[in-house]
Amino acid sequence: MLTDLSFDELQIYIKNLGLPSFRADQLFDAIYSGKTLDEISNLPKGLKAIIEPSYPKYSILQALKSKDGTEKFLIRFDDGAVVECVLMKYKYGYSICLSTQVGCRMGCKFCASTLGGLARNLSSGEILGQMLLVNRHLGGSRKERKITNIVLMGSGEPLDNYDNVLKFIKLASSSKGLNISERNISLSTCGLVDKIYSLAEENLDITLTISLHATRDTDRQAIMPIANRYNLQDIVQACKYYYAKTKRKIYFEYTLIKGVNDSKDDAKRLKALTSGFLCHVNVIVLNPVSERSLQKTTRLEAYQFVELVKKEGVSATVRRTMGEDIEGACGQLRNKFLGIRN
């Protein structure tokens, strides 16, 4: 699809069609403004007919707005696959949470995205496409960029789709395109350790976020199958390496599950796991997925846990929950659409 191409690659594509290079500018502008082929007025009909099979026909199937302003979109790709993405409004502007795969094969017990397994990877252009559609939905274009921040925290495991995600980061940060600063892009992983080492070598200024969710290997194994492949010490070593290479603060996501990972001892062990590099712990209140038996804590309990963690000298906050009234947690809206019980 044409969304997979960088500007340079699009120029080559246009050149190979025997067309002048200004056509590449026009086409790139149309793609990055989220226009449909029909809406492009400055390209000849003959050219449109040639590019038609490669021009994306992604669409927003459904848009839901939460009371808190968060918006969730169900996006359909050309083969009929659907994913969701979430738009969050902050003081500084809009941040978008993008999916990187259709479904997920990581199998985390608390997560709705993984209930139907992995259908397929998204291409770089499909990850970008979510953003182009939502930017357009907000009245933006290539020149008028409405979204300033990206979090790769939607459905899927970004490091399980490494090459496409990396290419997406290049596309999104390209000054010719939406020009999102790498510093404003976060990638969240459940901890594919070998891929964290690879990412450290890519010379990117992005923020690495690790879904930690437990402080003992046995507890982590009970909720995250990936913990059988890599233990907590493997993750800590990889974080230290990533930090040494990039000098970027690392973020940990820590979803509180009642009676599983919320004890005083957990707070103490968090200290040991997060020492030796700059990091911050985001404590999240579980958004219960009804098919799973895991219990959430109250917000008050989350604040109390954060106090314990802070007492240990670890930087930590409770993360704002957004969009709870619109099936806000990973994968919930898509499941509803597909008839998979959350």
List, by residue number, the catalytic residues: 84, 330
The nearer residue to ligand SAH, 3 or 332, going by C-beta atoms, is 332
239 makes contact with ligand SAH (CB under 6 A) = no
Contact of 124 with 164, CB cutoff 8 Å: yes
- Tell me if 211 contacts ligand SAH by CB under 6 A: yes
Stretch binding ligand SAH (CB under 6 A), from 62-70, 85-93, 104-112, 134-142: 104-112
Residue with tokens 């800590």: 236
329 near ligand SAH, rule: CB under 6 A? yes
Residue pair 104/331 in contact by the 8 Å Cβ criterion: yes
Contact between 207 and ligand SAH per CB under 6 A: no
CA distance 87 to 328: 11
Question: Do 94 and 138 form a contact (C-beta atoms < 8 A)?
Answer: yes
What is the rounded distance in angstroms from the CA atom of residue 204 to the CA atom of residue 316?
A: 25
List the beta bridge partners of residue 71.
65, 87
Closest to ligand SAH by CB, 176 vs 296, is: 296
Q: What is the DSSP string of 179-228?
A: ---GGGEEEEES--HHHHHHHHTT---PEEEEE---SSHHHHHHH-GGGG
Min separation Cβ 163 and ligand SAH, Å? 17
Tell me the per-residue interface mask from 59 to 98 with ligand SAH, x by CB under 6 A, - otherwise.
----------------------------------------
Which one of 10-18, 22-30, 141-149, 279-287 is the stretch in contact with ligand SAH (CB under 6 A)?
A: 279-287
Region from 56-64, 102-110, 128-136, 227-235 binding ligand SAH, contact rule CB under 6 A? 102-110
Report the residue number, 83 or 204, with the smaller CB distance to ligand SAH: 83
Residue listed under structure tokens 């996501």: 253
Backbone torsions φ then ψ of 235, nearest 5 degrees: -65, -45
For 137, counting Cβ atoms within 10 Å of its Cβ (0-12 exposed, 13-18 middle, 19+ buried), the class is: middle
Q: Binding residue for ligand SAH (CB under 6 A) from 84, 253, 262, 327?
A: 253
Q: Which stretch binds ligand SAH (CB under 6 A): 74-82, 103-111, 129-137, 162-170?
A: 103-111
Chain residues 291-320 in contact with ligand SAH, contact rule CB under 6 A: none
Binding of residue 289 to ligand SAH (CB under 6 A): yes
Distances in whole angstroms, Cα of residue 66 to Cα of each of 223, 324, 327, 338: 29, 8, 9, 21
Residues 127-186 interacting with ligand SAH (rule: CB under 6 A) = 153, 157
**255 C-beta neighbours (distance < 10 Å), count:** 26
Which of 196, 281, 309, 330: binder of ligand SAH (CB under 6 A)? 330
Does the footprint of ligand SAH cover residue 192 (CB under 6 A)? Answer: no
Among 186, 287, 297, 335, binds ligand SAH (CB under 6 A): 287
Asked if 243 touches ligand SAH (CB under 6 A), the answer is no
CB 194 within 8 A of CB 201: no
Q: Taking the CB of residue 92, how many other CB atoms lie within 10 A of it?
A: 9
Number of residues that bind ligand SAH (CB under 6 A): 18
* Alpha helices, H only, the chain: 7-16, 22-32, 45-51, 124-137, 162-173, 193-200, 217-223, 232-246, 264-273, 299-311, 332-338
- Binding residue (CB under 6 A) for ligand SAH from 115, 150, 190, 214: 190
Task: Compare residues 171 and 284 and give the one whose CB is closer to ligand SAH.
Answer: 284
Interface contacts to ligand SAH, rule CB under 6 A? 106, 108, 110-111, 153, 157, 188-190, 211, 253, 255, 284, 286-287, 289, 329-330
